[in-house]
Amino acid sequence: MPSPTTAASVKFGTTTVVDVATATVSLARNQIDITAVGDTHRHTTQGFLTGTVQLEVFYESGSSNAAILTNIEAGSVIADVEVVWASGYSIKGNAFVVDAALSVAPNDIARLTATLQFSQNAITVTE
């Protein structure tokens, strides 16, 4: 399946995150080892779906993207993080901010880069 490339929006619940420069979603399934004692080769089965969202936003204090720094400071979950592409493809789930970096260059705008880790419930993928 080709990956959609045009991000239409990023939402935290019903709030649209403003000034998103890039949004990248990564999904994976960990493998669970179910090899029995005495087997001559390894047996695995699919584990849980895991995922992260990498965001780069043009940071503005007091805007909806300021919630990213508030969340990493408080350690609270962001309910219903959703990345929706223009095609209608979306990925949604609860997430924690696991890292955030704020950078400013002289005569430039502030940029916030953050990684959000899906956690605590199922990840919903809509095509």
- Domain coordinates of the chain in residue numbers? 7-126
pLDDT digits (tens, 9 = 90+) for 55-112: 898 888 788 778 888 888 888 888 899 988 878 888 999 999 999 999 988 888 889 9
Distances (CA, A) of 46 to 7, 29, 30: 29, 6, 6
What does pTM read for this prediction? 0.77
Under CATH, which number does the domain 7-126 receive? 2.30.110
Distances (CA, A) of 36 to 39, 49, 89, 91: 6, 24, 40, 36
How much is the mean pLDDT over the chain? 85
